[in-house]
Every structure is written in C-alpha cells, then in structure tokens.
Structure 1
Amino acid sequence: MENGVNEDHVHIVFDELFRKHYSKLLFYATRFLSTDEAEDIVQETFLELWKRRDSLEMEGQIQAYLYRLVYNKAINVLKHKKIENDYSIEVEEIYKRKIAFYEPDYNDTIKRIENMELRQEIYGMIDQLPDKSKEVFKLSYLHGLKNKEIADVLSISQRTVEAHMYKALKMLRNNLSHLSFLILLNLIY
C-alpha cells in the first residue's frame, strides 16, 4: 500500500509541475521553433521527466532543468533543420543570434518569459500575419535587421520588404488597437 501512496504522490507532483511549467516552456520553445515543433519538444521534455521521475529530485532546480531540456531539444531540431535545408550563411547567423539570446542561463530571458501574457497576445497576432509579411516583420523587429539585410536574406527586393512591413504594421495596428502601438513595439524588443 505504501508504494501505491508514494506513486500517487509522484503523479500529483508531476501534474502540478506540468500545469505550472507547460505554457511557459511552450512559449519559450516557440522563440526557436514553430508552434507544432515547440509543442512536440515540450511534450518530449515532460515524457523524459516522467521516465526519470525515480532518479530526479522533483523539487528545487526543476525549472532550470526543464528549460535546459527544452533548450537542448530545440537546438537539436534547429541543427537537424540546418542540415536538411542547407541554410545560407546569413540565415545561419540569425539562428546563432537567436540561440544565444534565448540561452536559459541568460537572466533577462527568464524574466521576459515570466511576464508572458501580453507578449503571447502580441506574438499570437504576429503569427496570424501572412507568411512573408510575418517573416519580414520578425527579421526587422525581433532580429533588428535593416530592410536591405532582409532583402538580401530573403532574396527579394527592398521595395517588396517595405510592402510586407507596411502590410504587417497595418494589420497589427488594427488587431491590437487596444494597445498603444509604441508600447507594442517596445515589448517586442
């Protein structure tokens, strides 16, 4: 009977960890990957945690452990994508910057994730942009690239970049009109 009670306690602790950390880890993983890929690696992370439940201390540094697992899994997915798609040097540099910026040991990253509700709304609206406009917007506002650099990376004209930026900003202004647009842009950085 004691083993059953202990196993019930482990289930309760695991359920609490899942509820507490799943959405934060998913938000974190989507900084690297698409939502589907992010969901897969966060689920894999919790599956790995479950498999190691007997050898892990479920208290203490579990949050750091979970972020590290997600980070490592995301890096592996990105490496695999790089091999599959043979990314150009410019795109590879963007991914390197992104990976370095969201490194879980980087203090500001965890602080940003902890205050995520407003960002989730903003990023949700960004994700609803048409694909090319979304890509141009993210390269500009999330990665700080200039229009010329974006045009070079995407192999499109600067004029096309400007058209996509105009379209993206117009849609975001309309969809997030309840927020001050300047606050929106400051939160994205």
Structure 2
Amino acid sequence: MTDPASWPHESASLADYGEDCVKQWNNVSLRYRVPLRGFFSKRVKDSAEVEDLTQEVFLHLIRRARGGPIEHVEQYVFQVAANTLRDWGRRRRARNQEAHESFDAEIHQPATDISPERVLLGKEEIKLVSAVLRALPERTRDVFVLRVLEKKKYAEIAVMMAISVRAAEKHMAKALAQLGGIMGKAQDRD
C-alpha cells in the first residue's frame, strides 16, 4: 500500500475522519502514519529521518487544516509527502549532507590526551617565544611577522620595508636563529 499506484482514490474529507478536530487528527494519524513511513523508508535510508519526514507531513496537515477543510485527504497527504521529500532532498544537497560525517567519540578521539602539565608547558613556551620576539630588533621582528603570520613573500616584504630581498632573508634567518636557540634550551631543560 506504500506504492502510489496502489493508493485508493477515495474522496474523503477531513470531516469524514471524526466529529471533532482531535478525533479527526487521531484517525488521520492512525490511518496514514504506517503508509507514510513506508513511503519514506523506500526513499530514505535513515529511520530517524523517516520519522522526522512523517512528522513534518502531519505538521503541514495541521497547519493547512486551520485554513479550512481538506477534501480528498489521502491524495493530499501523499502530495504533501512527495513535496516534503523533495524539499528534504534539496536541503540535503544545499548543505552537502552526504559529505557530513557524524561524530563518533571512538573515531574522533584525539591521538593523545593533553594533560594539564602539557597545557602549562605550552603556555610557558608561548610566553618564551613572545619574549624572544619582543627582544628582536624592530626590523627583524617586522620581517618575521610579515613572513610567518601574514604569509608574505620575501619580495613583497622587501618592497613594503624598502629593503633588498636578501636583507629580508637575513632578518628572517636572524629571527629563526634566536627562536631556535631559545627553544632548544627550553627542550634541554625538559
């Protein structure tokens, strides 16, 4: 009965499902929930998505019923289901949902746990690097910042600072030597 060709073409209205709104919606839900799930499960793999789509159809029907009576309920229900499925597909494509990987704690666990001690050592190293950079001559520090942090090429740095490319390279080498020396000493202490 989930195949659209096998659906009966009854011309029942919403009023035919009960005397008041509560009974009407309960009866519509009882009558169409299983066929709607079947309709969606043939087209959608995830059972949670099937349930969400089914609920979305009922939500649409309730909103629509506020505007007046629904005639030909069965045809209307499955037309809404088809439109809901089409909208769902568009949203998935727009959000590139197929490329999404769900979070799995076992798979996405960091390779190593970062201990409080490691965090403290990292903070100390950052302070050390900052101190070394502040102690560098201004031009050397500027070359380092432009090259490392702003990803500028030596030719761009040379033009910006009105120095030669070779001078920019020497300033960078000087900054790296200072940082390397201090970092080497820090690692020797550990």
TM-score category of the 2 structures, normalised to the smaller one: 0.3 to 0.5
Structure number with larger C-alpha Rg: 2
State TM-score, norm by structure 1.
Answer: 0.38
Query: Which structure is higher in helix share?
Result: 1
